[in-house]
Amino acid sequence: MRILMVGAGALGQVFGLWLTKAGASVTYEARQKTTNSDIKTLYRLRRFARPVPEELRARPYPADGVWDAVWLCVPSPALHEPWVRDLRERVGAATVVTIGQDPRDLPALAGIWPAEQIVQLVPSVLAHRTPAGIAYWSPPGTAHTVHGTDDRARPVVTALRAAGVRVRRARRPGTAELGAARMIPYLAALEAADWSLPALRADLTTPATATREAVTVTAALLHRPPPRLNVPAPAANLILRALPALAPFDLPRYLRTHFTKVGTQTRKMLDTWITEGTSRNLPVTALTALRESLPHH
């Protein structure tokens, strides 16, 4: 299988590593600039043991550009830029794998490729850059979620499982978007609290309410009733207390570094929920308060 990986950031390198483990040939293109085919070392983190070094060997950029799949490992705002339409001319009928979770991402891509050609993947891995290379950690008990037609999604699932990665199929659309609706308001509130988890835990009322609003808006966009399962503020408090102790790295520092870098994505998601909710006469008061609490980015 020949894979074109668009985006050579932390997630792009982790997925490239796993795909090469499964026997795929992976070539990187970082925002229209090809990367060299040097060997990169990634580090799989473990809670009570030393990191495991793993080698990623990417292929040089080929002249023919015949691909079985193209993976779009870029932030959501990038999926709406002109280069994506240019990419369509170069990848043809290749399966398009996206990690985008904004409610507007899939419709935008479906305006470029046939919807049945697109596979949506929800990552369940935390990856960040260190002086030694990319380090990554898959929280125990979690699995990546893949949604798409059988003929397109099955090879993605098979390849990741061949690399020893936990994957599950989502049969209904919206898993990624609903997951983002549950997570992004808390991350926005954490940024507004200057990335202090204790300060965030001190008052979870606004992010908890904003999460319910975002889930309701997302469900409306998906033309389905909002799911009944929501994380109440006390449960969120317990989760936020436990996560830093479970992670084999400085979680607050990771959150600050990563989500500051993709701050535009956070703001655009909030803007989407506010705009779409307002147009449907759905409550967005807490989402609006969160958006206004964020510094300009």
Over the chain (297 residues), what is each successive 10-residue block's mean pLDDT? Answer: 92 96 89 58 93 88 78 95 92 95 95 97 94 93 95 97 96 91 95 94 93 95 83 80 89 92 94 97 98 87
Is CATH 3.40.640.10 what the domain over 2-169 is classified as, yes or no?
A: no
Close Cβ partners of 243 (under 8 Å, ≥ 6 residues apart): 251
| Separation of alpha carbons 161 and 154, rounded Å | 11
Return the number of other C-beta atoms located less than 10 Å from residue 38's C-beta: 9
| Residue with tokens 């966009």, as numbered in its chain | 221
Helices 205-221 & 263-279, crossing angle to 10 degrees?
70
Return the number of other C-beta atoms located less than 10 Å from residue 137's C-beta: 22
| Separation of alpha carbons 271 and 266, rounded Å | 9
Phi, psi (deg, nearest 5) at residue 168: -130, 150
Instruction: Give me the amino acid identity at 102.
Output: D
| Separation of alpha carbons 135 and 14, rounded Å | 9
pLDDT of residue 32: 44
pLDDT of residue 162: 97
Instruction: Decide: 26 and 48 in contact? Cβ < 8 Å.
Output: no
Instruction: Decide: 177 and 222 in contact? Cβ < 8 Å.
Output: yes
1-46 confidence digits (pLDDT tens): 899 999 989 999 999 999 999 999 999 986 544 455 567 899 999 9
Helices 251-261 & 263-279, crossing angle to 10 degrees?
70
pLDDT of residue 29: 85
| Separation of alpha carbons 147 and 57, rounded Å | 28
pLDDT of residue 30: 66
**Sequence ranges of the domains in the chain:** 2-169, 175-293
| Separation of alpha carbons 221 and 269, rounded Å | 13
pLDDT of residue 34: 45
Instruction: Decide: 227 and 216 in contact? Cβ < 8 Å.
Output: no
pLDDT of residue 72: 97
pLDDT of residue 80: 95
pLDDT of residue 145: 97
- Strand (E) or helix (H) holding 25: strand 25-30
